Amino acid sequence: MLSKRGVGVAVVLLLAAAPVMAEEMNVALFTANNIWMMVCAALVFMMHLGFACVETGFTQSKNTVNILFKNTFIVALGILTYTLCGFNLMYPGDGGNGFLHFSEFWIANPENGNTADYASGGYTYWTDFLFQAMFAATAATIVSGAVAERVKLAPFLIFSALLVSISYPITGYWQWGGGWLSEAGFHDFAGSTLVHAVGGSAALVCAFLLGPRLRKYSADGKIRPILGHNMPLATIGAFLLWLGWFGFNGGSVLSADPAVTSLVLVTTNLAAAAGVISASIFTWIIFKRPDLGMALNGALAGLVGITAGADQMSPASAILIGAAAGVLVIFSVQFFDKIKVDDPVGAISVHLVCGIWGTIAVGLFGEKASATQLLTQLKGAFSVVAFTMIFSFVFFGLIKVLLGVRVDEKEEVEGLDEGEHGAEAYPNFAGNAGIL
């Protein structure tokens, strides 16, 4: 047994070692947080491949090169414009009036990124930027699907740059940058409104201003289905998005906290699964046969729906939210077809309608559920959507007047691959046999 003196010496040694042990624990936590967020950034980056596959699979083969080019260019464009402008417009630091503030051009002061606060156990400036930059291009990618098969390439890319560098960061600042929605108590954990409804509302405006594809609607108002050419590719895309959402929502914890992160991943997964089941059952009932496209969009609808409250929901609530989103997306797709808003991939229904539903669900089922919270959620969703729609109408409308936004009828019939790129996605090599 230790003597009293021995115990006293041990206590003194432990107390002396405590600061060192605490510092080591903080370094370990800091490292874990950064590694997790960088892995999540990679998963979100992979989602862009998912969007490209879904959009390609749901559309006609003659437009494949065009769609793949758009989705490739938008990612690069989004990262660069967010670097130049968007990041500091979205996270401007102190100052501002809660609605709009821009501190500096971040790229002019790269030394900011060298700050590593090990003591807080948080994450570096670089990690934060990398994760947020992967989010930024998502809004424009959502729009891409809704305007597919008839939009001019250059005008669309100009609009995408404006959306990612100005509109998306401004409304993102309102909540995530400490703006007026944050002060009002609005809750949007990973972006049902701030990412998905933003992309969906811009998609609605652009699809409306473009008009429907040729022969999509007959003179007597009947809807003529234009079938996608590659459902295996669309299915691969949907599963890539489902996987990527573990990074989209999981990284939004902004740490590797095992309790919160595991809850977020569980609620995310359950909502997606429930969306598939509910969408499949309802289409089976309505159309007398199961519909693969609706099942895939059901998964995406569930994922969008849970994104606002993934950190607050119980597993049961997540299933309910996802199932409701899976049903909602079916009726939404039918509604937009009836009013002749042509959306080849269902992006408006998945991202705008289900994004708003997920935001409202926070006030109905989340830990903060109350009449006051519900009103705050409605106010936040309406404000963000209204701003984005006005912005999109002004700038996409201006581009339409100045440059034109729609390809001519001949190019649309022949396909944008040939008209915009002079290339084919699926060349007939058999017809070129013997040619070196």
CATH code, domain carrying 237 = 1.10.3430.10
Q: Does residue 18 sit within a domain?
A: no
| Residue 400 lies inside a defined structural domain of this protein | yes
Residue 3 lies in a domain: no
Task: Compute the distance between CA of residue 85 and CA of residue 102 in angstroms, rounded to an integer.
Answer: 9
In a domain, 431, yes or no: no
CA distance 280 to 327: 9
Is the Cβ–Cβ distance between 50 and 131 less than 8 Å? no
Q: CA angle, 311 as apex, 88 and 92 as ends, to 5°? A: 10
The two structure tokens encoding residue 231: 């459902």
Exposed (0-12), middle (13-18) or buried (19+): which is 104, by Cβ within 10 Å?
Answer: exposed
Identify residue 402 by its one-letter amino acid code. L
DSSP string, 219-249: TTS-B-----S-HHHHHHHHHHHHHHHHHHH
SS3 at position 136: helix
CA distances from 391 to 66, 139, 168, 368 (A): 25, 14, 10, 31
- How would you write the pLDDT of the chain (436 residues) with one tens digit per residue? 445 555 454 444 444 444 544 455 577 888 899 999 999 999 999 999 999 999 999 999 999 999 999 999 999 999 999 988 888 889 887 767 788 877 666 555 555 555 555 555 678 888 888 999 998 888 889 999 999 999 999 999 999 999 999 999 999 999 999 999 999 999 999 999 999 999 999 999 999 999 999 999 988 878 998 999 999 999 999 999 999 999 999 999 999 999 999 999 999 999 999 999 999 999 999 999 999 999 999 999 999 999 999 999 999 999 999 999 999 999 999 999 999 999 999 999 999 999 999 999 999 998 889 999 999 999 999 999 999 999 999 999 999 999 999 999 999 999 999 999 999 999 875 554 444 4
* 98 belongs to a structural domain: yes
**pLDDT at 27 (0 to 100):** 77
Whole-number pLDDT of residue 25: 55
Residue 13 pLDDT = 44
Instruction: Please give the residue range of the domain that contains residue 173.
Output: 31-114+121-426
DSSP 137: T
Name the token pair of 284.
């089976």
Alpha carbons 124 and 112: distance in angstroms, whole number = 9
Encoding tokens for residue 379? 């106010």
DSSP class of residue 151 equals B
The reply to whether 434 falls in a domain is no
Of 68, 365, 311, nearest to 189 by C-alpha is: 311
Burial class of residue 297, CB neighbours in 10 A (0-12, 13-18, 19+): buried
Give the residue among 87, 93, 47 at the shortest CA–CA distance from 71.
Answer: 47
Residue 204 sits at the vertex; the CA angle it makes with 152 and 415, to the nearest 5 degrees, is 30
Q: How many domains does the chain have?
A: 1
Residue 243 lies in a domain: yes
Q: Tell me, yes or no, whether 95 lies in a domain.
A: yes
pLDDT score at 110: 53
Contacts with 388 (C-beta within 8 Å, 6 or more apart), sequence order: 167, 171, 197, 198, 201, 202
- Is residue 91 helix, strand or coil? coil
With beta carbons less than 8 A apart as the criterion, state whether 308 and 365 touch. Answer: no
- pLDDT for 355 equals 98
The model's pTM is: 0.91
pLDDT of residue 423: 92
Q: Which long-range contacts (CB under 8 A, 24 or more apart) does 230-236 make?
A: 230/56, 230/57, 230/61, 231/57, 231/292, 231/293, 232/57, 233/53, 233/56, 233/57, 234/53, 234/54, 234/56, 234/57, 234/58, 234/292, 234/293, 234/296, 235/57, 235/292, 235/296, 236/53, 236/57
CA distance 28 to 25: 5
Max Cα distance, the chain (Å): 98
**Amino acid, res. 42:** A
Of 184, 180, 179, 136, the residue nearest 160 (C-alpha): 136
Q: Which two tokens stand for residue 265?
A: 């991943």
